[in-house]
Chains A and B, each alone.
Chain A
Amino acid sequence: MTELAVLIPEALVLVAALAALFAERLPGGDRTAARLGAGLAGAAAVCVALIGVRDPIANGTLAYDAVARDARLAVAALSALYLLWLSGSALDRVREMAAFALFSALGGMLMASARDLMVLFIALELGTMPAYVMMGYEREDARTLEGSLKYYLLSMTTSLVMLYGFSLIFGLTGTTRIAEAGSLAPAGLLGAFAAVFALTGLFAKLSAAPFHFWTPDAYAGAPASAVAFVSTVPKVAGAAALFRLAQALEVGEVVSLFLGAAALASMLLGNFGAYPQRDIRRLMAYSGIAHSGYVLLALGAGSPSAIAYAVIYAIPSMAVMLLAAEEGAAVEDWSGLVQRRPAAAWALVVLLLSLVGVPPMAGFFGKLSVFGAALHAGRTALVVVAVLMSVVSAGYYFRLIRPAFFAEGAPEVAEDRAGATWASTVVFVAATALTLLLPLLFGALESLPRIGA
């Protein structure tokens, strides 16, 4: 019984999600639900940190190692920030968004510790299903429906391909345990197919090439507040699951080649695709594809820095999308931001430069760790592409900074824009502080892998 104590964080998130479903019964309604969710998710994050690394439970199907701990901590903490922001937002039906985000977070946390193919699949679906609803949040908008339908169809298809891969692995090895399944898989063609199929589903969740093309359409149709969650939190969990799976499925060179090719394609397509975009959601969608490429680069090198990178990506990316939710999703909407909200504008600089990978922001240390891992694995050419692409990325991130700071004849403040609430202020301060100060704390983070180890 005591071994189930490691599930306390998940239980807290589940309670919060159920409470949000019945928000109408709560005093204060939607807002209370979101605040309760933020509080419980925050508590879950603290519990994950306190519980630390433990033995696997449930017959060995759920792992509680350092990878699981870091990913669960990040998922819970990011969800807490997101719900805090929701509690202050002017969105309709906040309770639904809160409930779905919490269910998705629950799925993500389970996904990060799944050591069994079936558990992984169920956790993945639990993490993804609520995201379909979040992306289709504006039910009357045709573009939203188009985007979310694309997301739904592609996501379902890749899930089924993945399930097919799982069944092949089970057929070949007679087990669904990820560790055993991997080591038993013969290095033949069928094994390779099984492995590639199995990875496919997670690629789509990470919006990595070649399963990326749904992302820009889906994000551009969805409300920015939904994108802020869907484009970040599931990616952290996805990176953790992919790490576990890729570690086990080392079937000859095939998996590593597949990961390398996907990393290359994601970096190129994402970064060049982001360049012409005028809609911040589309731009961040492509940037997300590019960053998934860096995650895959680390995964291909077999390094857990992939998870650290996904977290370091998720924090600023979520904050930028939340700002888009407040200020408007077209690049022009940010004109004159520095006059309206100077603190937010400077926070934006920190967040975007972190995404570029400029020190002393956290993004730099993420890239340092990923490039180190990839160079150590002998992938010099990929690293050269990766560094060049990070220069390209600076070009389009600056297209967001430019209107915010240097718009000529900045338009008057639109009256209908909601002013920043204290909740959103707290969220931006927290995200910026994490982005700036994480490097100072790195010394205390034992999970950040050594370069070349």
Chain B
Amino acid sequence: MTSHLLTAIVFLPLVGAVACAAVPSARASRALALGVSGVVLALAVWLVAGFEPGAGMQFVERARWIPQIGAEYHLGVDGVSLPMLALSALLTVLAVVASWNVAERPKTYFALLMLLEVGMNGVFVALDFVLFYVFWELVLVPMYFLIAWWGGPRRQYASIKFFLYTLFGSVFMLVGIIALYLHPAGGTLDITALAGRGFPVQFQMWAFAAFFLGFAVKVPVFPLHTWLPDAHVEAPTAASVLLAGILLKMGTYGFIRVTLPILPEASRAWAPAVAALAAVSIVYGAALAFAQKDLKKLVAYSSVSHMGFVMLGIAAGTSEGIAGAVAVMFSHGVVTGMLFLLVGMVYERTHTRMIEDVSGLSVQTPVAGGLLALASFASLGLPGLSGFVGEFLSLLGAWKSDLVPAAWVVVSAVGVLLAAAYMLSVVQRVVLGEPSKAVAGIGDLTLREVGVLVPLVALTVVVGVWWDSLLRYVSPVASELAKLVVGS
């Protein structure tokens, strides 16, 4: 049964997508979406339970696909993809529940969410480049429609910008993939088999540049980030959660899965530049977040900043750095998911996202206020919550690494300070104080809404307190990769 577990996790939502569109009523459609994503989550939990940390690629499936181009149907999970896959399965369920009362074209909406899950799950388990690329691009279409149809006032602009930016990046990745395949040292599309092939350094540099464009747009790394605030602000809440929680991680996952093992010399050579961009992303994202008046935009820019820590850890190439990068990816998915959900819930009640219009949540709606405060603390990296683990490790890893100039680590550390500043200011202005006009009279979170947030709160606390719950999966892979890149 477990021999096709990954196939089930990836393609069950596809069946769900068709079924969601085909059933006669909206009610049936959302029940189906919840059922299917719930089953996928259960399968993912089963996968985690059966996973053996440190034992390399597991649950591998291989089958003939397109022999003419050497493409195979090749799936597998290791300690890096496992947490991301589980997160994707969890966030999809929460996204379905959070969208429970979507009124416009609900059948199409849930079908698109299901289709999105196919792509998200697929990216993290695909071990063949063509398959990887198929899943990578597959997420674009449902996300485009989710933003363009259910989004805010500027949704047309935001959705097409998202689509074109990402497509721009990924076509270069495609060139990189073909180049690896055509190179005499390559000759295969098997991602794992290409690791450590020893491509010539000059070739690696160019291939890295191609992959970098593809991945960096998705992360996004400064200066390729400008699609992100637009997309986030216009996207409906569930789409924002998945965009920040999973889609951004696809970019950094790409660096870890592809460039580090396959192009280690180039990763080393480009590390100072990547670290510089990471540091700029951290500080620039944080500064812009500080300046925002719109709560959702603030969270969006904070994502740019947090993803900078992931890039810093990856640039470091040390085992702490890489493990820290994955930990930030996981934690940011959980915490930012929480923040976007809360902002959405507050918006539904107050019809404003302006920070100046919302205050005193803790008085009027203690549950919402308390959870928003908790999420803010997790986001700014308070020890004991998940945000701290990854940022600490990536800074430590970058500090220990010879590849990252110390100055960039110092700059990045300033980013932590800035994060504390803008998140605390949110807590102070939005959560504390007297209820503002918009807040007065609104009701607290419903049971359904609390139910959506509880799993995320639990994960934040568990990972923050018991680091090993996450790191036991990640660390073995991180040290393997570090051996390839920095040799220790």
Binding site for B on A (CB under 8 A): 349, 353, 356, 358-360, 364-365, 367-369, 371-372, 375-376, 383-384, 387-388, 390-391, 394-395, 398, 402, 405-406, 439, 442-443, 445-446, 448-452
Contact status of A451 and B181, CB under 8 A, knowing A383-B175, A391-B171? yes
Interface residues of B in 177-194 (CB under 8 A from A): 178-179, 181-182
Closest CB-CB distance, B275 to chain A, in whole Å?
27
Does any Cβ of A come within 8 Å of B134's Cβ? Answer: yes
Task: For B164, give its contact among A353, A360, A395, A450 (CB under 8 Å).
Answer: A395
List chain A residues, Cβ under 8 A from B70. Answer: 450-451
A375 touches B179 (CB 8 A): yes
Closest CB-CB distance, B113 to chain A, in whole Å?
16
Closest CB-CB distance, B20 to chain A, in whole Å?
13
A394 touches B178 (CB 8 A): no
Closest CB-CB distance, A298 to chain B, in whole Å?
13
Task: For A443, give its contact among B64, B141, B167, B168 (CB under 8 Å).
Answer: B64
List chain B residues, Cβ under 8 A from A359. Answer: 130, 133-134, 137-138
A-B contact pairs, 16 of them (CB 8 A): A358-B137, A359-B137, A365-B66, A372-B69, A387-B174, A388-B171, A395-B164, A402-B156, A405-B145, A439-B66, A442-B68, A443-B64, A446-B68, A448-B69, A451-B69, A451-B182
Closest CB-CB distance, A434 to chain B, in whole Å?
16
Interface size in chain B (residues, C-beta < 8 A): 31
Tell me the interface secondary structure of chain B in the complex. helix
Closest CB-CB distance, B73 to chain A, in whole Å?
10
Whole-angstrom distance between the alpha carbons of A452 and B68 in the complex? 10
Whole-angstrom distance between the alpha carbons of A452 and B65 in the complex? 18
Nearest A residue to B65, CB-CB: A443
List chain B residues, Cβ under 8 A from A387. Answer: 171-172, 174-175
Closest CB-CB distance, A235 to chain B, in whole Å?
23
Binding site for A on B (CB under 8 A): 64-70, 130, 133-134, 137-138, 140-141, 145, 148-149, 156, 160, 163-164, 167-168, 171-172, 174-175, 178-179, 181-182
Closest CB-CB distance, A11 to chain B, in whole Å?
32
Task: For B163, give its contact among A360, A369, A398, A442 (CB under 8 Å).
Answer: A398
Whole-angstrom distance between the alpha carbons of A451 and B70 in the complex? 8
Whole-angstrom distance between the alpha carbons of A398 and B181 in the complex? 31
Task: For B149, give its contact among A364, A369, A405, A443 (CB under 8 Å).
Answer: A405
B65 touches A376 (CB 8 A): no
| New contact pairs (14) apart from A388-B168, A443-B68, A452-B181, CB-CB < 8 Å | A364-B133, A364-B137, A372-B182, A375-B175, A375-B182, A390-B171, A394-B163, A398-B160, A443-B65, A446-B68, A449-B68, A450-B70, A451-B70, A451-B178
Contact status of A448 and B68, CB under 8 A, knowing A384-B175, A388-B171, A394-B163? yes
List chain B residues, Cβ under 8 A from A448. Answer: 66, 68-69
List chain B residues, Cβ under 8 A from A451. Answer: 68-70, 178, 181-182
Nearest B residue to A342, CB-CB: B108
Task: For A394, give its contact among B66, B145, B149, B164 (CB under 8 Å).
Answer: B164
Tell me the interface secondary structure of chain A in the complex. helix
Contact status of A445 and B68, CB under 8 A, knowing A359-B137, A376-B182, A402-B156? yes
Closest 10 CB pairs of A and B: A387-B171, A359-B134, A442-B66, A391-B168, A448-B68, A360-B134, A359-B137, A451-B69, A452-B182, A372-B178
Nearest B residue to A384, CB-CB: B175
Whole-angstrom distance between the alpha carbons of A405 and B130 in the complex? 30
Closest CB-CB distance, A442 to chain B, in whole Å?
5
Most chain B C-beta atoms within 10 Å of own C-beta, residue among A391, A398, A445: A391
Whole-angstrom distance between the alpha carbons of A395 and B145 in the complex? 15
List chain B residues, Cβ under 8 A from A372. Answer: 69, 178, 181-182
B68 touches A450 (CB 8 A): yes
B178 touches A368 (CB 8 A): yes
List chain A residues, Cβ under 8 A from B167. Answer: 356, 358, 390-391, 394
A371 touches B178 (CB 8 A): yes
Closest CB-CB distance, A358 to chain B, in whole Å?
5
B141 touches A358 (CB 8 A): yes
Whole-angstrom distance between the alpha carbons of A452 and B177 in the complex? 13
List chain A residues, Cβ under 8 A from B168. Answer: 388, 391
Closest CB-CB distance, A365 to chain B, in whole Å?
8
List chain B residues, Cβ under 8 A from A383. Answer: 175
Nearest B residue to A350, CB-CB: B141
Whole-angstrom distance between the alpha carbons of A439 and B133 in the complex? 14
Task: For B134, give its contact among A349, A364, A390 (CB under 8 Å).
Answer: A364
A371 touches B174 (CB 8 A): yes
Closest CB-CB distance, B109 to chain A, in whole Å?
13
Most chain A C-beta atoms within 10 Å of own C-beta, residue among B140, B160, B174, B182: B174
Closest CB-CB distance, B174 to chain A, in whole Å?
7
Contact status of A360 and B138, CB under 8 A, knowing A376-B182, A452-B182? yes
A406 touches B182 (CB 8 A): no
Contact status of A443 and B67, CB under 8 A, knowing A376-B182, A388-B171, A451-B182? yes
List chain A residues, Cβ under 8 A from B181. Answer: 372, 451-452
Task: For A405, give its contact among B140, B148, B164 (CB under 8 Å).
Answer: B148
List chain A residues, Cβ under 8 A from B172. Answer: 387
Closest CB-CB distance, B250 to chain A, in whole Å?
15
Whole-angstrom distance between the alpha carbons of A269 and B167 in the complex? 21
List chain A residues, Cβ under 8 A from B130. Answer: 359, 368
Whole-angstrom distance between the alpha carbons of A448 and B68 in the complex? 7
List chain B residues, Cβ under 8 A from A452. Answer: 181-182
Nearest B residue to A359, CB-CB: B134
Most chain B C-beta atoms within 10 Å of own C-beta, residue among A360, A449, A450: A360
List chain B residues, Cβ under 8 A from A395. Answer: 160, 164
Whole-angstrom distance between the alpha carbons of A390 and B164 in the complex? 10
Whole-angstrom distance between the alpha carbons of A446 and B69 in the complex? 11
Whole-angstrom distance between the alpha carbons of A219 and B185 in the complex? 48
Whole-angstrom distance between the alpha carbons of A371 and B141 in the complex? 23
Whole-angstrom distance between the alpha carbons of A398 and B148 in the complex? 12
Closest CB-CB distance, B125 to chain A, in whole Å?
16
List chain A residues, Cβ under 8 A from B171. Answer: 387-388, 390-391
Closest CB-CB distance, B386 to chain A, in whole Å?
34
B69 touches A450 (CB 8 A): yes
Whole-angstrom distance between the alpha carbons of A451 and B141 in the complex? 27
Whole-angstrom distance between the alpha carbons of A451 and B140 in the complex? 26
Whole-angstrom distance between the alpha carbons of A406 and B141 in the complex? 15
Most chain A C-beta atoms within 10 Å of own C-beta, residue among B65, B148, B175: B175
Closest CB-CB distance, A352 to chain B, in whole Å?
11
List chain A residues, Cβ under 8 A from B160. Answer: 395, 398
Nearest A residue to B134, CB-CB: A359
A406 touches B148 (CB 8 A): yes
Closest CB-CB distance, A167 to chain B, in whole Å?
39
